[in-house]
Amino acid sequence: MEYSKDMKNRLKRVEGQVRGVLRMMEEGKDCREIITQMSAIRTAMDRATAYVVARNLETCLRKEAENDEEREEVIEEAIKMLVKSR
C-alpha cells in the first residue's frame, strides 16, 4: 500500500503535538494541561489509525478481493486491526 501525503501529514502533526507536550513538561506546565494535550494526541492517533485502515480496506476491496469470500476476509482483517489499535 502506498501512503498518501495526507496520511503522512497526519502523523507529522501528531509528532509536533508530542514535541509540544515534551516542551510543556520541560517548562513545568500544569499536569492538567499536559494530560489534555496527551488526550488530544491519543485521539489524533486513533483517527490516523482508522484513516489508514479505511484506506487499506478500500484498496483491498477494489484491487484484491475478487469474490465475496475474499471481501469478507478483508473486512474481518480491517475490523481486527481497528480493535487491536484500541
pLDDT tens string for the chain (86 positions)? 678 898 899 999 999 999 999 999 999 999 999 999 999 999 999 989 888 888 877 777 777 666 677 777 777 877 787 777 66
Rounded Cα–Cα distance for residues 45 and 41 (Å): 6
Closest CA to 38 of 53, 25, 51, 56: 25
What confidence score (pLDDT) does residue 42 get? 95
What confidence score (pLDDT) does residue 66 get? 67
This model's pTM is above 0.75: no
